[in-house]
Amino acid sequence: MSTKQLFDGEDRKILKTGYTREHPIFVVGLGICSALAVSNKVENAIAMGVGVTFVLIATAVIISSLRSLIPQRARIITYMIAIASFVIIVQKFLDAFTPAISEALGPYVALIITNCIIMGRAEAFYVTRSVRHSVIDAVGNGIGYSYTLIAIAAIREVLGFGTLLGFQVTPDGWEKWVVMSMAPGAFFLLGTAIWISRAITERSSGEEEGE
Amino acid sequence: MKAVRSLLDKLYTVPQLARFKPVIGAADAILYGTNETTHAAPHVVDNIDIKRYMSLVIVALLPAVAAAFFLFGWRVIAIIMVSYMAGGAVEVIFAIIRKHDIHEGFLITGLIFPLVLPPTTPLWVVAVGVVFGTMFGKEMFGGTGRNIFNPALVGRLFITIAFPAIMTMNWQTPFASGPEAITTATPLTTFKSTAQTSTINPSVVEAGTEQVLFTNAGAVKKATQNPQSEFAGVQVYCMGDAAYEKAAHHRRIEEGKASRLVSYGDLLIGKEPGSMGETCRLAILAGGLLLIGLRVSNWRIPVSYMTTVFIFAAVGSHFLPAKIAPPMFQVLAGGLLFGAMFMATDPITSPFTKAGKYIFGISCGVLTVLIRSFSGYVEGVMFSIVIMNAFTPLIDQMVLMFKYRPVKA
């Protein structure tokens, strides 16, 4: 009984929704700009995924606990203040401990502030729901965003640089796919991923309706 | 023939092969034509369907294929086969998933695509390009007839951006094989690099000049007639046979110092390096004129395209000879003829209104010369056709808007 209270069916549903039915990139179409920009190497993708997940969770805590105090008219600016504070923490952390990654990510860490996933979830979910559900939702969305980013980055890094996490995985004489290290490569991969995921969802939902 | 007919009929009834019905259907329609009739107006009495219509385009491409085989050897056949197999696999997979007939457009895409590749392209790059072109150029939009861009060009574009070293640095001299046949320059590249290092069409060749490039015979005459010209030790490059003839035997130019940068005759018969199908311009002309004569393709786009390139290049090279190549060279070099005859005329991705066709051709022409002259790329045919493909619906829409304005009450 106690374990069930700790993580009940609704919690599980909220968590799963974040990376399946309401996948931020594939279904809702949020956070695509950063997904295109930083998915060129796996280590950048991991750093970005962790950063965004951290900011999501922290924002979820702040916004949902303050939800009764946030005035309706000034809510966006409130989200911005909360998000910006946490983004600066992430940025300073990366600057201090992993300067190489910080440099590779460039302005995109600072741009987490305007990442639509965080703004979107804050507006759609955290401002009306309990802290507990908000945090679970943040984790779910963080997982969805991170695994997509890492999967795309893995393909791009192998094809575009011949490496994976910096280690060479392709044979010598590998012809690098220059396009994969540029933004268009991310467009094609992300587009294909969305195409496939939509086709699968449509097919399965069509079958459900048929039954 | 009866045996084939009964075999096909039998294949239709085999339950295990039900999934592959599109494949059987395609073979049937190619061999026997179709019994399907058009459901909606307009009705034309003819037993031709798209598969057979497209086979005329294949026939028109055969001279270019034959010329490519003659010039570059067996590798051409290997590349075409890889293109058909890899692209055909994508086509069949989509036909089976989407449960529709195999779309006939692929017969052409699979043949045009290899013809616009350098003959040294590795086979796996060919496969990547054709798979990408079929998926993103065609299937993504819903298949044949719904595509916005020419699938062969989308594939070519992708591998040009993905593998710039392979696609722009390895060309093959026709009639030659082995490592010494590989050259890094097509005529367009040669012009661009020579123009950068030479004095172009000078009216006076001053002492101390190292390299001079004459783009026409008139310029040679003007420079040699000027008494102040100093030709001692000057390397003279000439565009075209007329200029070369004038310079080679001129008493003021040192013996052996005049050389021909490009021969228009060689360009016409295909002795210059280039993509497999684009080098033999005579074969392309034969195929293209056949299509226009049979009314399969329309003359408006190729004619307006090439005329625009000629006029723009003539005016441009007069004022900016260092950047813009002379008109005859622009029309004959690169993929212009092939692009204008077989790619710009694609009925799906080009306008269907008459005025639209002119607008399409003229815009392609302007873009081609601009890209060739002022961008980092030496060839602009592919880019300009793809760019104008994107504008095709807009052009048609505007033409119709101007033509059929609602009557004011």
Residue B366 has pLDDT above 90, yes or no: yes
The CA distances from residue B294 to B57, B236, B289, B324, in Å, are: 10, 46, 8, 35
Q: From the CA of A155, how many Å to the nearest CA of chain B? A: 14
* Average of per-residue pLDDT values in chain A: 83
| CB contact (8 A) between residue B162 and residue A195 | no
- Selected for mutation to probe chain A from B139, B158, B169, B170 (highest A CB count within 10 Å) is B158
Residue B297 has pLDDT above 70, yes or no: yes
| CB contact (8 A) between residue B163 and residue A177 | yes
More confident residue, A17 or A58: A58
| A192 interaction partners in chain B (CB closer than 8 Å) | 135
A188 interface with B at CB cutoff 8 Å: yes
The enclosing H or E element of B229 equals: none
The partner residue sitting opposite A177, judged by closest CB among B136, B140, B162, is B162
| Cα–Cα distance for residue pair A56/B206, rounded to 1 Å | 71
Radius of gyration of chain A (CA): 19
Per-residue pLDDT tens over the stretch B183-192: 767 888 888 8
- At residue B280, the pLDDT reads 86
Residue A2 has pLDDT above 50, yes or no: no
SS3 A163: strand
Residue A6 has pLDDT above 70, yes or no: no
| B132 interaction partners in chain A (CB closer than 8 Å) | 188
SS3 B172: strand
Q: From the CA of A35, how many Å to the nearest CA of chain B? A: 20
The partner residue sitting opposite B163, judged by closest CB among A175, A192, A195, is A175
More confident residue, B216 or B345: B345
Compute the average pLDDT of residues A112-125: 84
- At residue B359, the pLDDT reads 93
**Spacing of C-alpha B45 from chain mean position:** 33
Global pTM? 0.80
**Percentage of chain A lying above the pLDDT 90 cut:** 9
Which of A:25-64 have CB within 8 Å of B?
Answer: none
Per-residue pLDDT tens over the stretch A78-104: 888 999 999 999 989 988 988 888 888
Per-residue pLDDT tens over the stretch B5-52: 787 777 777 777 777 777 777 777 666 665 565 565 555 555 555 666
Nearest CA in chain A to B137: A188
Say if strands B171-172 and B182-183 run parallel, antiparallel, or are unpaired: antiparallel
- Selected for mutation to probe chain B from A158, A159, A170, A175 (highest B CB count within 10 Å) is A175
Residue A181 has pLDDT above 90, yes or no: no
Domain boundaries of chain A, sorted by first residue: 2-210
Residue A5 has pLDDT above 50, yes or no: yes
The partner residue sitting opposite A178, judged by closest CB among B122, B136, B163, is B163
Compute the average pLDDT of residues A164-183: 81
> Which residues are B212's β-sheet partners?
B199, B236
The three-state DSSP-derived secondary structure of B129-152 is: HHHHHHHHHCHHHCCCCCCCCCHH
| CB contact (8 A) between residue A175 and residue B161 | no
Q: Are B111 and B63 in contact (CB under 8 A)?
A: no
- At residue B31, the pLDDT reads 66
| A177 interaction partners in chain B (CB closer than 8 Å) | 162-163
- At residue B97, the pLDDT reads 82
- At residue B83, the pLDDT reads 92
| Cα–Cα distance for residue pair A155/A152, rounded to 1 Å | 5
**Percentage of chain B lying above the pLDDT 70 cut:** 91
The CA distances from residue B251 to B164, B200, B218, B247, B255, in Å, are: 44, 20, 17, 9, 8
Per-residue pLDDT tens over the stretch B159-177: 888 888 888 777 777 776 6
Question: Among A123-137, B88-102, B298-312, where is mean pLDDT lowest?
Answer: B88-102
A175 interface with B at CB cutoff 8 Å: yes
Provide the sign of the torsion angle of the four alpha carbons B251, B253, B255, B258, taken in this order. negative
Compute the average pLDDT of residues B74-98: 88
ipTM: 0.76
The CA distances from residue A132 to A60, A153, B295, B385, in Å, are: 9, 31, 70, 56
| CB contact (8 A) between residue B164 and residue A177 | no
| B136 interaction partners in chain A (CB closer than 8 Å) | 188, 191
Per-residue pLDDT tens over the stretch A31-81: 788 888 888 888 888 988 898 899 999 999 999 998 888 888 888 888 889
- At residue B178, the pLDDT reads 64
Of the candidates B381, B366, B374, which has an alpha carbon nearest to the alpha carbon of residue B195?
A: B374
The partner residue sitting opposite A178, judged by closest CB among B125, B140, B164, is B164
Per-residue pLDDT tens over the stretch B304-363: 999 999 999 999 888 888 888 888 888 888 889 999 998 888 888 889 888 999 999 999
Residue B302 has pLDDT above 90, yes or no: yes
Instruction: Give burial (CB, 10 Å; 0-12/13-18/19+) of A136.
Output: buried
| A184 interaction partners in chain B (CB closer than 8 Å) | 161
- At residue A211, the pLDDT reads 35
Q: From the CA of B22, how many Å to the nearest CA of chain A? A: 21
Which stretches of B73-179 are DSSP H helices? 75-98, 105-115, 123-137, 151-162, 164-169
A179 interface with B at CB cutoff 8 Å: yes
- At residue B33, the pLDDT reads 62
- At residue B256, the pLDDT reads 72
Torsion angles phi and psi, residue B368, rounded to 5: -60, -50
The partner residue sitting opposite A175, judged by closest CB among B140, B161, B166, is B166
Residue B137 has pLDDT above 80, yes or no: yes
Q: Are B340 and B368 in contact (CB under 8 A)?
A: no
Per-residue pLDDT tens over the stretch B123-134: 999 999 999 998
Compute the average pLDDT of residues B94-103: 78
* Average of per-residue pLDDT values in chain B: 82
Compute the average pLDDT of residues B387-394: 92
| Cα–Cα distance for residue pair B312/B324, rounded to 1 Å | 9
| CB contact (8 A) between residue B125 and residue A175 | yes
SS3 A158: helix
A171 interface with B at CB cutoff 8 Å: no
Residue A200 has pLDDT above 90, yes or no: no
| CB contact (8 A) between residue A180 and residue B140 | no
Domain boundaries of chain B, sorted by first residue: 48-171, 187-265, 297-403
> Which residues are B184's β-sheet partners?
none
Q: From the CA of A178, how many Å to the nearest CA of chain B? A: 5
A187 interface with B at CB cutoff 8 Å: no
Q: Are B174 and B71 in contact (CB under 8 A)?
A: yes
| B158 interaction partners in chain A (CB closer than 8 Å) | 179
| CB contact (8 A) between residue A175 and residue B136 | no
Q: Are B71 and B279 in contact (CB under 8 A)?
A: yes
